[in-house]
Structure 1
Amino acid sequence: MSITPSQSASPTLQSLAEIQTYEKVPLSQRYPWESTFDLIRQSARLYQKDAAIEFLPTAAPDEETISVSFSQLSERVHQTANLLHTLDITSTDTITILLPNLLETHFALWGAQAAGIASPINPLLEPEHIVEIMNTTKAKVLVALGPDLSEEMWGKVKKVIGRVPTLQALLLVSQKPAHMVTVPTGVRVENFVTAIKQQPDAHLISGRTIHGDDIASYFHTGGTTGHPKVARLTHSNIAFVAQLSADTTANKGRFATLSGLPLFHIFGTVVAGIGTLLSGRTIVIMTPEGFRSPNVLPNWWHHVARFRVQGFVTVPTILGVLLQIPVDDNDISCLTDIGCGASPLPTGLKNAFEEKFNVTISNGYGMTESSCLLARPPTDLQAPDGSVGRRLPYMEMRIAEIVGNRLIRTCNAGEVGIVLARGPHIFSGYLSEEDNAKAWVDHDWFNTGDMGYLDGDGNLFLTGRAKDLIIRGGHNIDPALIEEPLSRHPAVAMAVAVGQPDAYAGEVPVAYVTLYPSDNPPSEEQLIDYCRTQISERAAIPKRIEIIDEIPLTAVAKVFKPALRNRATEYVVGQALQENNIAAELSASFDASRGQIAKVRLEQASNKPAAEEALENLPVALEFD
């Protein structure tokens, strides 16, 4: 791996005034590249035979990598785009990418954007939800693993392909010829690996000129029930954030970085993906499964030392695990800073990690709809405690009071309101007009759904999600009021607060915690006593704390609060039935129109009237089976 240090100097952007000065250079002059295709080609021109991506199939210590240079990556992207053109893909057609983290995933992702619209989908989703997304985006091509590489994934593909009427072609990442695979009539099958080798690698045979406002990618952002929520990101959306990321970190030079984030998620695709490539840094793909692989985290420090990693990006839950993994005799003195995102970073975890490993952690803020970033700490300084930093250059951020989709007023410094944003990286809206109707304020500002405030120097402090508010008898409780103090308890590894249905108050706060290994762990009652001493707002003291083995997470390691709300619903319904000596099996779910739903299967059907009476005051929709 040959890496030449960058000669560029990063803009410091240490204050709001410096950001404003930086913005005096016109955006088109500052960041000239309009498309992801431009960025891939520019990286190839700059870094040529240097390693762009190294792939570790299992992440075992000292495993040999499979390497692709910047020039080769550009060639494979050209070839992928040209293959798709031969399949009649145009700039408005959708290519679904149902792949784990592979070299071919990068080829498909960026090649699809050069030919049409890439739609990466979480391969862990159930087939029904994959079908919903593909039908919503009207997918014409599916890129997936062949049966020889994953029987489980092939099982999903077989259930999907016959249920998407627009699907015309299936491209398989496989070691076997395509003719060995049987699919429904009318769907063309090609071996992706061999088919792209037959295509030109230095030009687009379509002759396409890609414009900044062309849609580059569809990202699914919604839950797993109801209609899929699909965000449309343009080429210039992604190119802006990638160029900003490369520009503001240029002083860190070029190095290899470990990547365990999934490539169907905006964080792994933009900042940890094309932004890293544009910086001339080498992405080391840590197995197809990323952080979910059993080898990745136990061997993380070995690979940091092996590849002389100066920095990597991750999410708070992964930092919590790495904090417990011994460095042993691995020399990780090369590691200087870590980028963190996707969810709030507890102050206690940040401080403990920085002290133990002598690194700096920067926790930024963003989402799919902002092409990954909305705010970030200064490049070379820590943001104030509790802050996610300042807004990006060339964008606007406003903290506001809103009613419906109308902006009522802008909040003063230090005053909590809804975080609104607009700028060159804000997406072009959702595919569904129903979703768009709720997304914009005054038809201009994107409503992030987050609550927070700005200090006098533009630092953003997030206080929670508007929809995560716990409303106790009309009293709004921010879950952070509970989660932050509980997270400071020395025995608590992670704490999550949600609302539990209550017959009197509508909701009461409850908390779920995981503990560090200990010979003398605290009891649930002791943790509640601790909250009484740490939480000044009496209404926010948890009614109940439950110690659990594992906090439920999404595929990208975010806390999945709906699962905990369902658990809280099952608990309170179960308690009410138990108090009335009614035996039943319970399951809870959430519906956007009906709220929390409890499905009750009574052991004795004759108990239904008594069960209805016992549960009648709970704000929960009941379904008796």
Structure 2
Amino acid sequence: MTAELWPRYDGPEDLPLIEAVPLADRGLPATTYDVLCRAAALWPDRTALSVLPEAARWRDHTDVTFGELLGRVNRVANHLHGLGVRRGDAVGLLSPNCEDLVVATLAAQVAGIAAPVNAGLRADHVAELLARSGARVLVAGEGVDTSGIGVDAMVDLAQLDGLVAGQPGDHFVGAPPVATDIAAVFHTGGTTGVPKLAAHTHANEVADAWMIAANTLLDEDSVVFAALPLFHVNALVVTLLAPLLRGQRVVWAGPSGYRDPALYGELWRIVEHFRISAMSAVPTVYQVLAQCPVDADITSMRCAMVGASALPAAVREAFEGATGVRLLEGYGLTEATCASVRSFLQVDRPGSVGQRMPYQQVKAVRVEPDGSWTDLPAGEVGVLAIKGPTVFPGYVTGRDAGGPVVDGLGKLVDGWLDTGDLAQVDEDGFVFLTGRAKDLIIRGGHNIDPAVIEDVLLAHPDVTGAAAVGRPDVHAGEVPVAYVTVAAGATVTGADLEAWAAARVAEPAAAPRSVDVLDALPVTDVGKPYKLALRADATQQELSRALRGVDGVSGVAAVIGDGGVVAVVDARSTVDEIALKEALGGYTVPWVLRSAR
């Protein structure tokens, strides 16, 4: 007998009761296609999607029912099948968010494997990612640069309806996917200069979507707002698949999503009109919204979910104070599909990003010199590891006759995923992040691989060494900056190299905001690069600038400790502590005040 699909999940005390029933007995659909078919069968005439053309014209939205969505997905999947796409073949998706992209993304997982790519990347970078995915067909949005991309066929999203008009909408003509098939590959930042492609099985995506949807706070009548790009796992899992499982309506923002300045002036009216219950965004979005007057009835909003980068306390206080809406933190990564940790409305664990989600295990480990792991007791800081049904099978490293070949590349140990993040885990499974074991720069929730910046700078004829790190930023959490060494006698300046990098880095967001020329880059005692020292320098520069106008501050130092950076502010006893807190409140850097006697 199948257990209840939607158990009570309101607080941390519900976790053991949920896990008393094996996940296999919950009756989850096997694949993302089964999720869609189930939704169309249960709620054929209910609105699944409301898609806005752009923020300024949100009243001109189009609506799609669950039944209509299935019909459109079947027609597009059948067209892809007719173009030769089979189970192990990837379909590239290169477009800003729009109604047809939602359809094409689901259809690609029906016919083959979805391979979404950020359309904001340079054309040669896009071509490289699509080639690595093995994409046979590319579905591209209007105005997207497709030069240099080698695929068997291209599909123009603007012409999609006409192309698929003759295809059957009541079924998929090919062999449907099964749970163990790869559903999608997502490019993700790594520790090398080449982005990796993380593979997700259908079972991965369905399990994680169910864990997100199994939230007593929201029900079938809840409406979700979506504005993150569909090349990001959050958009796919949190705001597409989870609502499909629960029968919830999703309001999709226009092509620019949260990057559309007009959205911030309209959002509260959009919330009132659609009676939106929840939204998902990165901290920088909430920082801007905290400054926007609440000019509508937003009492329908139960919560706002936040993740992807650290949430400054000042942003939480400002947003919740201005709106009365609670921010619920979470944690996840592409290699664990999307979400692994969540918070609760009525539970406060200061400093925690939340409790592990059902059927996912978390622990902190110490990585020994020989590469083996030692489990650490509750409360001790180590590398965070995750195990469970959402952990990916590996990165795409090649292809064979059956499709993509995947390999964990050292990230998987006996089914456990090495997240690369430092954390402590308490006895109740609450996770407290303390830093990053990896060097990724997280700008507004977007991962930037420092090697991408370093490779560009090292291509300059005068540069002999380069290191990129994140500098604290009030608006983006972090922005990339770089440090270089140059050849003897070279006259190139930091400003020259900043312009050089801006013209050559594949993505504008990854261009370094500053480049400092040093006599030597810092190294550890054994000669390895020591980026913590550079992060400390960048932190000191930024916070010194932020505190320039605060009376009584005599200086600031950035101190390295426990794998992170802490700011120490030197001040006279007459310091204006209110101004001090206001100046530093938007940063995620921990700081202490050292007053002169």
SS of equivalent to 1:45: helix
Pair 1:532–1:226, CA change in 2 (3 A): closer
2:161 alignment counterpart: 193
Paired letter, 1:194: G
Offset of residue 524 of structure 1? 7.3
2:74 alignment counterpart: 78
Offset of residue 209 of structure 1? 3.8
2:231 alignment counterpart: 264
Provide the rounded CA distance (Å) in 1 between the counterparts of 2:280 and 2:190.
24
Paired letter, 1:303: I
1:171 alignment counterpart: 155
Provide the rounded CA distance (Å) in 1 between the counterparts of 2:54 and 2:564.
49
1:617 alignment counterpart: none
Provide the rounded CA distance (Å) in 2 between the counterparts of 1:527 and 1:535.
24
SS of equivalent to 1:309: coil
Conserved 8 A contact 1:451-1:465: yes
SS of equivalent to 2:410: helix
Paired letter, 1:195: L
Aligned 1:190-589 pairs, distance under 5 A = 191-206=159-174, 208-222=175-189, 226-249=193-216, 251-328=218-295, 330-378=296-344, 380-403=345-368, 406-432=371-397, 436-441=408-413, 443-468=414-439, 496=478, 503=520, 506=523, 507-508=533-534, 509-511=536-538, 522-523=547-548, 529=554, 540=565
Offset of residue 440 of structure 1? 2.1
Conserved 8 A contact 2:395-2:409: no
Pair 1:50–1:498, CA change in 2 (3 A): closer
Provide the rounded CA distance (Å) in 2 between the counterparts of 1:498 and 1:524.
25
2:118 alignment counterpart: 122
Provide the rounded CA distance (Å) in 1 between the counterparts of 2:85 and 2:137.
8
1:14 to 7, 11, 18: 11
SS of equivalent to 1:299: helix
CA offsets 1:325-369 (integer angstroms, 9 cap, x no match):
1223x2222222111111121222112211221111111000111
Offset of residue 533 of structure 1? 11
CA offsets 1:47-97 (integer angstroms, 9 cap, x no match):
211111111112225522111111000111111111111111110011001
1:139 alignment counterpart: 135
Count the aligned residue pairs: 489
Offset of residue 251 of structure 1? 4.5
Pair 1:224–1:538, CA change in 2 (3 A): closer
Provide the rounded CA distance (Å) in 2 between the counterparts of 1:8 and 1:37.
18
Conserved 8 A contact 2:225-2:239: no
Offset of residue 439 of structure 1? 1.4
Provide the rounded CA distance (Å) in 2 between the counterparts of 1:334 and 1:14.
21
SS of equivalent to 1:277: helix
Offset of residue 522 of structure 1? 4.1
Provide the rounded CA distance (Å) in 2 between the counterparts of 1:135 and 1:340.
33
SS of equivalent to 2:55: coil
SS of equivalent to 1:211: coil
Q: Which moved more, 1:397-406 or 1:130-139?
A: 397-406
Offset of residue 14 of structure 1? 2.4
Provide the rounded CA distance (Å) in 1 between the counterparts of 2:169 and 2:242.
22
Conserved 8 A contact 1:528-1:542: no
Offset of residue 42 of structure 1? 1.0
Pair 1:97–1:514, CA change in 2 (3 A): farther
1:588 alignment counterpart: none
Pair 1:423–1:524, CA change in 2 (3 A): farther
2:34 alignment counterpart: 38
Provide the rounded CA distance (Å) in 2 between the counterparts of 1:538 and 1:447.
17
Offset of residue 532 of structure 1? 6.0
Structure 1, gaps ≥5 residues long: 1-6, 175-190, 471-478, 546-558, 562-625
Provide the rounded CA distance (Å) in 1 between the counterparts of 2:164 and 2:138.
15
Pair 1:499–1:126, CA change in 2 (3 A): closer
Aligned 1:84-99 pairs, distance under 5 A = 84-99=80-95
Structure 2, gaps ≥5 residues long: 399-405, 442-468, 484-517, 524-532, 571-587, 590-597
SS of equivalent to 1:461: strand
SS of equivalent to 2:156: strand
Conserved 8 A contact 2:93-2:115: yes
Provide the rounded CA distance (Å) in 1 between the counterparts of 2:538 and 2:273.
40
Provide the rounded CA distance (Å) in 1 between the counterparts of 2:164 and 2:256.
24
Provide the rounded CA distance (Å) in 2 between the counterparts of 1:254 and 1:336.
12
1:55 alignment counterpart: 51
Conserved 8 A contact 1:49-1:69: yes
- In the superposition, the TM-score normalised over structure 1's length comes to 0.71
Provide the rounded CA distance (Å) in 1 between the counterparts of 2:564 and 2:82.
63
Pair 1:435–1:125, CA change in 2 (3 A): farther
Provide the rounded CA distance (Å) in 2 between the counterparts of 1:248 and 1:406.
38
Q: Which moved more, 1:430-439 or 1:195-204?
A: 430-439
Pair 1:527–1:194, CA change in 2 (3 A): farther
CA offsets 1:563-621 (integer angstroms, 9 cap, x no match):
xxxxxxxxxxxxxxxxxxxxxxxxxxxxxxxxxxxxxxxxxxxxxxxxxxxxxxxxxxx
CA offsets 1:153-211 (integer angstroms, 9 cap, x no match):
1xx21x133xx2xx21111112xxxxxxxxxxxxxxxx4221222111111111x1421
Conserved 8 A contact 1:468-1:498: no
Conserved 8 A contact 1:13-1:19: no
SS of equivalent to 1:41: helix
Percent of paired sites with the same residue: 32
Conserved 8 A contact 1:136-1:228: no
Conserved 8 A contact 2:359-2:388: yes
Paired letter, 2:160: F
Offset of residue 398 of structure 1? 1.4
2:491 alignment counterpart: none
Provide the rounded CA distance (Å) in 2 between the counterparts of 1:307 and 1:513.
45
Provide the rounded CA distance (Å) in 1 between the counterparts of 2:236 and 2:369.
33
Conserved 8 A contact 2:110-2:176: no
1:183 alignment counterpart: none
RMSD: 3.6
Paired letter, 1:130: V
- In the superposition, the TM-score normalised over structure 2's length comes to 0.74
Provide the rounded CA distance (Å) in 2 between the counterparts of 1:462 and 1:539.
11
Provide the rounded CA distance (Å) in 2 between the counterparts of 1:35 and 1:529.
60
CA offsets 1:384-414 (integer angstroms, 9 cap, x no match):
0111111111122110001368333111111
SS of equivalent to 1:432: strand
1:593 alignment counterpart: none
Provide the rounded CA distance (Å) in 2 between the counterparts of 1:544 and 1:497.
22
Paired letter, 1:439: K
